[in-house]
Amino acid sequence: MEKISKQVLAAVAAGSLWWPPGQVAAAVDTEGVASMQQEIESLRQRLVVMEKKLAQAEKKEGAGGKKEKKQEPKLLWSGSAKTGYMYDDKKAGKFKAEIRLNALTKVDGKYDVGLGVKFKSTSAEPVAGKYPAEKNKIKLDQAYVGRSFGPVQIKAGVQNVALGEGLWLSKASVNQLTVKYVMDKYGSLYAGYGRDSQDYLVNDVNKQEPPTRSRLLKFVQFQHEFSQDNYLGIYYGTQQPERYLGIFGRIEQNGKWGGMAEYICDLNRDKFGREHGYGYDSFGNAEITKGMLLGVNYGKAKKKGTCGISLEYLNVDQNLFMNDNYTAWDDCLSEDGFKGGGMVFDYAASDHTKLSLQRYWGDTKPSAANRKGGTGSSLTKEGRGFTYLKFTAKF
C-alpha cells in the first residue's frame, strides 16, 4: 500500500514539473497547501479501499483454484456376443450362444470397480436316440475392487485371471486377490491368491449330489517384454492339489507373422479318485504329467476386411488337469488328454465383428497305467476332433 501511495505522490510531483511556473504559483496561491493535502489524502484513502478489495478477490480466486473438483463416477459399458454351431467327430451337433456384459467405473478417482455377467445357452442335437438337456445358465464373471499405487496394481474379488498363453489358466469368475507390479518397461510380476471358479457346477439341480467345491488357487508369474507382442515368461502355481510349473513365449514379426509356445508340467504325483467333482476318474500313474502348446499365425482380423490364420499343435497328457474348466482350449482338452492339431481362420466382417472357423483333429492321450476308478480297465484312445463356426461381435 505504501509503495503504491509513494508512486501516486511521485506521479503527482512529476506532473507538477510540467506545469508552467506561473500556473504552479497561481495554484498554490489559490487553493493553498491545505487544499492540496486534502486531495492527496482523499486519493490515498481510495487507493487503500481498492487494494483491500483486490486482496480479497485474489484470496478468493486462489482458494477456488486449489480446491479439487469432485469427480463424478463414470460408468463404462463393454461386452461381447457370439453365436455358433459346433459339430464333432461323433456326429453330434451343438448350437451355442453367449453374451457378456461388463461395467467399469472409477470411484473418487482412485478405485476401479468392475462388474461382469455372462449368459450362456447350449442346445445339443439328439444322438443315437438320446436327447441332451438344454442348458441356459448365468454366471458372475467379474465383481472386484482395484486400486493402483504407482507401478503396483491391486485387485480383490471375482476377476479374469490368465497365465502364459492360457494352456493351464485362462478363466473369468475366479475369486482372487491379485497384485501386478510393473518393474520397468521390460519386466513385470503378477501374483494371485484365492479360490478357483465354481463355474456352473454349484447348485446344479440336474445332478443329485452335493455341489462341486472350489479349490485353493495361487500363482506367481514373471514376464519379460522384449518389445510389443514379443515376450518370454515363467510361472509357478497351485490349484489344489495340482502344482504347475510352466514357461511360455510369443514373437511377432512385421505385424504379420507370429508364433507362440507354452510348456507346462504338473509336479503332483498323487492322483486319487473323484468324489463330488473333486479328483480323477482314472488314476494309477504316479509320473509327472506334462503338456505342450505350439502355434504359428499369419495376419490379424482387426479392421474390416482383414483376416488371419493360425495353426496349432497340442500334446497334453492325461490328468494334467483335474478338469477342463480353466484352460483356454477347453473345446478339445479334457482330463483324458489330447494330441493333435488345429487350424483357426478369422475374418473381420467389420471393425467390431468377426467370423471364425475352427477345425481340430486329434485323439485323447490316456496313460496305460491309469485305470478307471484306480482298479478298472484303462481308457482306450478316442478321436476328439470338431468343427466350430461362430460369429462374434464386441461392443
Are 386 and 79 spatial neighbours (Cβ–Cβ below 8 Å)?
A: no
CA–CA dist 232, 248 (Å, integer): 6
Reduce the DSSP state of residue 269 to 3 states and report it. Answer: coil
Name the band, by pLDDT with cuts 50, 70 and 90, for residue 18: very low
* d(C-alpha 368, C-alpha 377), whole Å: 9
Helix residue spans in the chain (DSSP H) = 2-18, 21-66
Quote the CA–CA distance of 367 and 5 in Å, as a whole number: 101
Rounded Cα distance between 4 and 46, Å, is 12
The SS3 call for residue 61 is helix
CA distance linking residue 268 with residue 215, whole number of Å: 15
Single pTM value for the model: 0.77
Residue 203 has pLDDT above 80, yes or no: no
Question: What mean pLDDT comes out for the span 136-164?
Answer: 93
Rg (CA), the chain: 36
Q: How far apart are CA 333 and CA 323, in angstroms?
A: 9
Residue 232 confidence (pLDDT) = 97
- Determine the Cα angle at 163 with ends 315 and 316, to 5°: 10
Question: What are the CA-CA distances from residue 325 to residues 51, 171, 333, 373 (Å)?
Answer: 75, 8, 9, 21
Retrieve residue 303's grid coordinates: 479392421
pLDDT by residue (tens digit) across 271-291? 888 776 678 888 888 889 999
- For residue 5, the model assigns a pLDDT of 46
Distance CA 87, CA 344 (A): 15
Share of the chain above pLDDT 70, in %: 84
